[in-house]
Amino acid sequence: MNSNSMGRRSSIWPRLIIALIIAGFSLITYFSQNEFNPVTQEKQHISLSTKDEIALGLQAAPAMEAQHGGESANPADQELVDKVGKRLVATTAAASTPYKFKFTVLADDKTINAFALPGGPVYITSALLHKLDTEGQVAAVLGHEIGHVVARHSAEHLAKQKLTQGLSGAAGIAMYDPENPSSRNNAAIAAMVGSLINMKFGRQDELESDRLGVRFVSEAGYDPRGMLGVMKVLSEASKSHTPEFLSTHPDPGNRGAVITKLIAERYPKGVPADLKK
């Protein structure tokens, strides 16, 4: 055994020790931050307080609104979204949360999208709103976004992001050999793995919000089948051929199948005829 190989073996141990310390600290920090969510009935790993979530959402709101042309100047659109949003909050578990929901129509008439910021700001673009045919479909979009807020997905995602950054950073340190330039590729692979993990978490969040959306829409007296109409709109608007696993949003067709199952579970004898379309 030559001296070079012995030197490489001895030099790897400090990197491994540092990597293990970083990985251990990241794991302990993540798993020690536990909170029970009374809406989802699940234990979550979260590092932000609800007060911090609200502050974060308020801080991010101006920039997000500006990206989509600011608030819509159409008072009828805003009145509709306000009415539906307030009905959803008042009749569901969202009313018992500390979040201050505000529903805003954005002027963007090109981008078909809706999103929520942590703490309660909920947005729908004019482009998406004008594709919807019924009040129930509007409720479906807003109910899904309310689901993101009350399920604390943003706060949960931040905690997971810190974990994956710590683990991928530790892997990069362990795999990188300063005497072997090609080992940089290993560090890049470790970072990519971390990104893929976070994408998968985002996918799961969307499906959970669909489940909460069916629940909230139904509790507010709307026909949850409006969510299937929304999936059709999203499917027709989608021009992406990215494989579903690598997307933060599940394929609309696959989501539609899940939503159909959720509706059947909620109404095993069929959806009541008196629910608002």
Residues 114-148 pLDDT 10s: 999 989 999 999 999 999 999 999 999 999 999 99
This prediction's pTM: 0.76
User: Is 240 contained in some domain?
Assistant: no
CB 99 within 8 A of CB 37: no
Evaluate whether residue 77 is within a structural domain: yes
Which residue has better confidence, 144 or 252? 144
- Domain hosting residue 121, numbered range: 12-198
Strand-strand pairing, 102-106 and 121-125: parallel
Give the number of C-alpha atoms closer than 13 A to the C-alpha of residue 126, restricted to the C-beta side: 17
Looking at residues 236-263, what average pLDDT do you find? Answer: 70
Assess if residue 4 is contained within a domain. no
Measure the CA angle with vertex 200, ends 195 and 204; round to 5°. Answer: 145
**Is 218 part of a structural domain of the chain?**
no
Domain count, the chain: 1
- Tracing tokens 């594709």 back to the chain, one arrives at 131
Residue 1 domain-assigned (yes or no) = no
Assess if residue 246 is contained within a domain.
no
Percentage helix, strand, coil for the chain under 3-state DSSP, each rounded to 5: 65, 10, 25
Lowest mean pLDDT among 22-31, 80-89, 116-125, 190-199: 190-199
- Please give the pLDDT value at position 38: 84
Domain assignment present for 171: yes
Report d(CA 127, CA 148) in Å as an integer: 21
Tell me what pLDDT residue 197 has.
Answer: 46
Q: Give pLDDT tens digits for 60-101.
A: 899 999 999 999 999 999 999 999 999 999 999 999 999 999
Q: How many CA atoms lie within 13 A of 58 on its CB side?
A: 9
Residue type, 55: A
- Is residue 237, in this structure, part of any structural domain at all? no
Q: What is the pLDDT of residues 34-54, one digit of tens each?
A: 788 888 888 887 877 889 889
